[in-house]
Structure 1
Amino acid sequence: MGFLFKKKPTILYIKPEFASKRASAMEVVVSAPGKVLITGGYLVLERPNAGIVLSTTARFYAIVRPIYDEIKPDSWAWAWADVKVTSPQLSREASYKLSLKNCTLQCTSSRESTNPFVEQAIQYCVAACKVVITEKEKKDAFDKLLLQGLDITILGSNDFYSYRSQIEQRGLPLTPEALASLPPFSSITFNTGDTHSGTKPEVAKTGLGSSAAMTTSVVASLLHYLGAVSIPFPGKQYSENGNRINNGLDLVHSIAQSAHCIAQGKIGSGFDVSSAVYGSQKYVRFSPQVLSSTQDSSWRRLPEMVSDVLKQKWDHENKPFSLPPLLTLLLGEPGTGGSSTPSMVGSVKKWQNSDPTNSQEIWQKLADANSLLELQLKNLNKHSQEHYDSYKHVISVCSRLPHNKWIEMVSDQIGDSIVKSLLDTREVFLQIRHFLREMGKAAGVPIEPELQTQILDLTMDTEGVLFTGVPGAGGFDAVFAVVLGDAHHNPIISTWTTRGVLPLLVGENPNGVCLENGDPRARDVSSAISSININ
């Protein structure tokens, strides 16, 4: 992207694939993060149960630019606009005609290259713009942008996908260094498809909510590009008093939730989309009735349906929430095969209906433990605010010791109070794991499989580990740990690698959707160029 290098005469060093991409003043790049649900698995499906969901450094990027620099004089009479969607990591490109009247897409390329989440995001965004953009000047600009065509490129951070097989094929160890050696936005490996049933091969993922992050990035980039919202740059999401600045994010959320639910064929809890929009948070789901009008669209045009959705009272909660200072989130990929979240959720619901008394008892105990963990994390935040030097010292010392040695290393009242909060936090999370295992056993689903339990118990005994578990609905997809201090200098790395768990590079980042300075692929080129000394 040439515009990133206006002050650099070294533009000749740009990789060939970027040299052909001319800078455009109309280009918009927006990113949205992946997620890790550390509490609230299953419970978050029902109001008013809350879940703590952390947004991550893994992000999806959507790049929107016009297909045509100019439009023909007679283009205002056209009924269709061109749309192109490119996914370089999948080596896929899809082309469409967009109905300017109904806001619907007709595919003009192979359906093998299409993505239902992207298609619904585009349709719902254009329909939303027709509803919310009413000023004549903005409406004229919106119409012109559509007639110039929409060229959309989608990129996902490596963290969303499993590159375990590539690392093993290269004979490399399962270490963060081996994972970091892969180029950014590497090509993605597909699982083997079922050719007899005609199903598409699936992408091997790490469970960070790729579909929600992708949908949100496309929605936010289009709404910004077409003039309906103003997405903030990183660090601009909050005011000086700590309140979240909206900047149209509620519109992004409503449209992203709608598109995501339609694409996946059901109204889910929505925590993954909410964290992609707003960032790390304490989440309570919206009432499903909010999206009831999207479930039967056979008799309504899309703009009318979207207008109805936007008029609804969205009653979700998304209070900002992040880990206390100097605590680090680390994720690992066990490599034991993925799990079907819808199937597991279905089994848990079946168990609830067949055994309401026992299920309600476990459900309530788990909800109480989740609330207690939130309280303990808030206590640690309070300690860090009121006694930061003592807090920092305790975290530093305890990060090098197993938990049963922590209390021996402090001799003052403040330090003792901080250590007690750390130990109480550990104990609460052990209770959460216990109740999740009970739920899984009763429902007949592997929420915390035995293989995961062995790894988690070993991890809990590792120096500097506060707590560890299986995120979201559990299963075999991933394990996570919250550690004291810098995770990449923690023995947990060797603990995991010796047990066949690949430590991922992803961590927590509380920011939600945000505007980017340019194509993230060119950013890596820029970094490389700036490191070159020319005499």
Structure 2
Amino acid sequence: MAVVASAPGKVLMTGGYLVLEKPNAGIVLSTNARFYAVLKPLYDEVVEVEWIDVKVNSPQMSRETAYKMSLKDFTLNCSSESRNPFVEYAVQYSVAAAYTTLDKIKRSKLQKLLSQGMDITILGCNDFYSYRSQIEARGLLLVPESLAALPPFTSITFNAGDSNGENCKPEVAKTGLGSSAAMTTAVVAALLNYLGVVDLQCSGKDQKGENSSDLDLVHMIAQTTHCIAQGKVGSGFDVSSAVYGSHRYVRFSPKIISAAQEAVCTTPLDEVIGEVLKAKWDHERTKFSLPPLMNLILGEPGSGGSSTPSMVGAVKKWQKSDPEKSKETWDRLSEANSALEAHFNLLSKLAAENWDSYKSVIDSCSMHKSEKWMGQFSEASHVEIVKALLGAREAMLKIRCHMRQMGEAAGIPIEPESQTRLLDVTMDTEGVLLAGVPGAGGFDAVFAITLGDSTANLTKTWSSHNVLALLVREDPCGVSLESGDPRAK
């Protein structure tokens, strides 16, 4: 009885850096790029044991890791060199959550299930990784069709230089979609469902379970796992979108997880996890997705990814050294973020109220550069829609300007010059509403929002500038139970 769960990657459209501090909000879009966790028993027979076997497979990285896990205190012993802390903590915390939440009868069933061992396979969509070098090596064009021709879950080659295997880094750069958060969430969801702690059904895809306590439980364990595995309490927007899909996010108080981090050393793990589940999680989540007929598209410039933690560190250092100037920049950035959100909400409202006018404006604007949009219309209802489009565009230009100022002041490339040139060209393409660097910025993939059927224009423009348009699109759905192993599709 295999359980397969999946969780999406993300694009933080607004709220880079600000989302680290309450009450600043960020708009995070979940995508159709998903991580999958396939979980099944290792053995057919049930044997009473104190230590269970856990096997973790990552076929894309040609890795298999074997563990023994104590059912007494959830200690994991590993016999392999290659280890993945995100998966290890996911296993320990999910099993501890099962012990702390299930009643006596269910716990004896749990004991039998665990005694059969666990076989976990992890698979990530190709979009999480850069395959540019493979495409170029094959002499193919830098177009989405070349990406689509790669087999699903293509293997990620490792550097041959380091022979001990321990410090092997994937040769393939990441695209910045939040692979560790999506992977952690998928593994936690599969484990909690398999162990009978939650019942996710197949409703995650259409978000019927949006307010369900089961999703909240997955969220609490996935956030705790992710923060403790990476050694710091981040803002958590990436895990939140992996669980709930696209939304407007305000972070939780860090003390919820930092208290658990401290308690782990002295308190039994099931008690620590019990406290995490009882804690007052005070994050805020408001429904948000792109207005109709708008498309999220990502372009990979091929300049390699960026280290978010070191960039965040530089911004924090600048805030301490120049509190007055940094507060002024943050306030302006926050205003511009709110303005963009307001324009998007207005566009969604106008689409709902007068679909025909909305569709005709989007169709027309998709064929022209932004400076020609207003000249197409004279009817009041049409003009109102164009004004909202241009307002969103203006807000994005302000966001980019303040992000650049922050980068210059902190001495880091939030919107590097090469990205600025690329984004300017992007925003000057027919049918492009706006473009920016997602999240913390740097050299990861850039994003754009296109109108109607204009995505092909942008793909062509990007290709001529040596930028590879990825296959990623917005998909507002969060964590989901799948009907089977994605490799069988």
Bin of the TM-score, shorter chain as denominator length = over 0.9
2:150 to 174, 182, 189: 182
Looking at structure 1, the residues matched to 345 and 8 of structure 2 have their Cα atoms a distance apart, in angstroms, of 23
Looking at structure 1, the residues matched to 53 and 311 of structure 2 have their Cα atoms a distance apart, in angstroms, of 40
Question: Deviation at 1:135?
Answer: 4.7
Question: Any idea what SS the aligned residue of 1:295 has?
Answer: helix
Unaligned runs of 5+ in 2: none
Residue 102 in structure 1 maps to residue 81 in structure 2: no
2:440 to 473, 478, 481: 473
What does residue 214 of structure 1 align with?
Answer: 183
Change (3 A) 1:396 1:166: same
Residue 124 in structure 1 maps to residue 99 in structure 2: no
Looking at structure 2, the residues matched to 168 and 464 of structure 1 have their Cα atoms a distance apart, in angstroms, of 28
What does residue 36 of structure 1 align with?
Answer: 11
Question: Any idea what SS the aligned residue of 1:291 has?
Answer: helix
The residue type paired with residue 171 of structure 1 is G
The residue type paired with residue 255 of structure 2 is Q
Change (3 A) 1:103 1:487: farther
Change (3 A) 1:191 1:270: farther
What does residue 500 of structure 1 align with?
Answer: 466
What does residue 273 of structure 1 align with?
Answer: 239
Looking at structure 1, the residues matched to 477 and 207 of structure 2 have their Cα atoms a distance apart, in angstroms, of 10
Matches within 5 A, 1:226-237: 226-234=195-203, 237=206
Unaligned runs of 5+ in 1: 1-25, 524-535
1:48 to 1, 14, 23: 23
Matches within 5 A, 1:319-468: 319-468=286-435
RMSD after superposition: 1.6
1:520 to 475, 486, 489: 486
Residue 111 in structure 1 maps to residue 81 in structure 2: yes
Question: Any idea what SS the aligned residue of 1:397 has?
Answer: helix
Looking at structure 2, the residues matched to 351 and 164 of structure 1 have their Cα atoms a distance apart, in angstroms, of 35
Looking at structure 1, the residues matched to 339 and 304 of structure 2 have their Cα atoms a distance apart, in angstroms, of 32
Change (3 A) 1:192 1:466: farther
Looking at structure 2, the residues matched to 486 and 99 of structure 1 have their Cα atoms a distance apart, in angstroms, of 55
The residue type paired with residue 213 of structure 1 is A
Q: Which digits, 9 at most, give the CA deviation of each residue in 1:313-372, with x for residues without a partner?
A: 000012121000110000011101221111111000000000001000001000111011
Matched residues, number: 487
Change (3 A) 1:197 1:30: closer
CA contact 1:293–1:308 (8 Å) conserved in 2: no
Looking at structure 2, the residues matched to 193 and 245 of structure 1 have their Cα atoms a distance apart, in angstroms, of 49
TM-score computed with the length of structure 1 as normaliser = 0.89
Looking at structure 1, the residues matched to 253 and 161 of structure 2 have their Cα atoms a distance apart, in angstroms, of 36
Matches within 5 A, 1:228-247: 228-234=197-203, 237-239=206-208, 244-247=210-213
Question: Any idea what SS the aligned residue of 2:266 has?
Answer: coil
2:33 to 58, 61, 72: 58
What does residue 131 of structure 2 align with?
Answer: 163
The residue type paired with residue 273 of structure 1 is V
Change (3 A) 1:338 1:235: closer
Percent of aligned positions that are identical: 62
Looking at structure 1, the residues matched to 233 and 353 of structure 2 have their Cα atoms a distance apart, in angstroms, of 42
CA contact 2:298–2:445 (8 Å) conserved in 1: yes
Looking at structure 1, the residues matched to 248 and 159 of structure 2 have their Cα atoms a distance apart, in angstroms, of 34
Q: Which digits, 9 at most, give the CA deviation of each residue in 1:154-194, with x for residues without a partner?
A: 10000001101100100111100001000000001346777
CA contact 2:205–2:477 (8 Å) conserved in 1: no
What does residue 16 of structure 1 align with?
Answer: none
Question: Any idea what SS the aligned residue of 2:232 has?
Answer: coil
